[in-house]
């Protein structure tokens, strides 16, 4: 987090519990936060930094050490749901190493009996070339190679894929083509794609990703939305309209959704980057949100 006067880790965990927020994502291990999470019941997605992925891929012993240092000391008292290898590495340098890194971390977890923790990676909509209509969703040529390897590993080990999806950025990139109400969960005029009706850009983007997965061997994969949100500076709090439901393409698959972010970050560049939080630094809510 890039903000002055943010609350302490214990205060943040207390806020999560008070507001019944069930999920927390950490981009890397933070001992102070993990200590504060003990006994909270909050389900945690624990990240591994992009720059660490090559080392973990090339040395299974290093992966075992990582697990012993960052998971084992807390595992009895912290509800680890996912370990995520890298954030938005695909397409890019080192992305071809992700499957081996995931495999080594999984070996480390299995070696200490922590078989209930899912292992995955986090990708963004940058992996998508075609997105409209959603059923045409497919990966870019640059992303297809690494994504195929990732999908094959995840399917073979029964692990999910984590996806960062931001309707705000998609809308801002094409404001003349995307109806504002469609981007803001505020339309009664659906976009029709064959048998599916879409009332929000969020659902359309998720289903475009599902379609890409299905075209590349990932029909059986489950999905976690690891980041989404809408900045509030000068905007209505549209993130409050997101619900944990399925999508038209997969209505029965209820999504785990992580909202970005818990707090506004005043040390980020001026503008919308400072205003993604659902709370101010003093822990007052930016808008009403029920979990």
Residues with a catalytic annotation lie at 88, 227
Task: Identify the helix (H) or strand (E) that includes residue 134.
Answer: none
Tokens of 68: 């012993």
The DSSP output letter for 106 is H
| Cα torsion through 182, 188, 192, 196, rounded to 10 | 100
What is the distance between the alpha carbons of residues 218 and 151, in angstroms, rounded to a whole number? Answer: 6
Place of tokens 């707090």: 263
| Cα torsion through 130, 249, 46, 9, rounded to 10 | 110
Q: Are the CB atoms for 98 and 81 separated by under 8 Å? A: no
The DSSP output letter for 162 is E
Give the phi and the psi of residue 12 in degrees, each rounded to 5. Answer: -65, -45
């Amino acid at each position: 987090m890039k903000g002055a006067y943010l609350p302490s880790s214990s205060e943040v965990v207390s806020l999560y519990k008070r507001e019944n927020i069930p999920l927390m994502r950490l981009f890397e291990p933070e001992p102070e936060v993990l200590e504060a999470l003990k006994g909270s019941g909050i389900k945690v997605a624990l990240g591994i930094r992009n720059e660490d992925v090559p080392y973990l891929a090339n040395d299974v012993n290093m992966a075992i050490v990582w697990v012993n240092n960052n998971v084992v000391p807390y595992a009895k008292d912290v509800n680890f749901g996912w370990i995520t290898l890298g954030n938005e590495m695909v397409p890019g340098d080192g992305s071809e190493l992700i499957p081996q890194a995931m495999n080594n971390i999984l070996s480390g977890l299995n070696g200490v009996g922590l078989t209930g923790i899912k292992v995955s990676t986090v990708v963004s909509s940058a992996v998508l070339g075609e997105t409209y209509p959603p059923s045409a969703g497919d990966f870019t040529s640059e992303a297809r190679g690494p994504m195929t390897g990732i999908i094959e590993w995840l399917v073979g080990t029964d692990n999910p894929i984590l996806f960062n999806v931001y309707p705000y950025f998609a809308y801002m990139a094409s404001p003349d083509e995307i109806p504002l109400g469609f981007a803001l969960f505020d339309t009664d005029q659906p976009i029709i794609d064959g048998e599916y009706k879409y009332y929000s850009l969020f659902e359309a983007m998720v289903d475009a990703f599902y379609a890409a997965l299905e075209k590349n061997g990932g029909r059986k994969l489950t999905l976690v939305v690891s980041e989404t949100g809408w900045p509030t500076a000068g905007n209505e709090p549209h993130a409050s309209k997101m619900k944990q439901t399925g999508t038209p393409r997969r209505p029965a698959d209820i999504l785990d959704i992580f909202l970005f972010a818990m707090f506004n970050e005043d040390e980020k560049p001026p503008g919308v980057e400072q205003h993604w939080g659902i709370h101010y630094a003093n822990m007052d809510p930016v808008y009403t949100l029920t979990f």
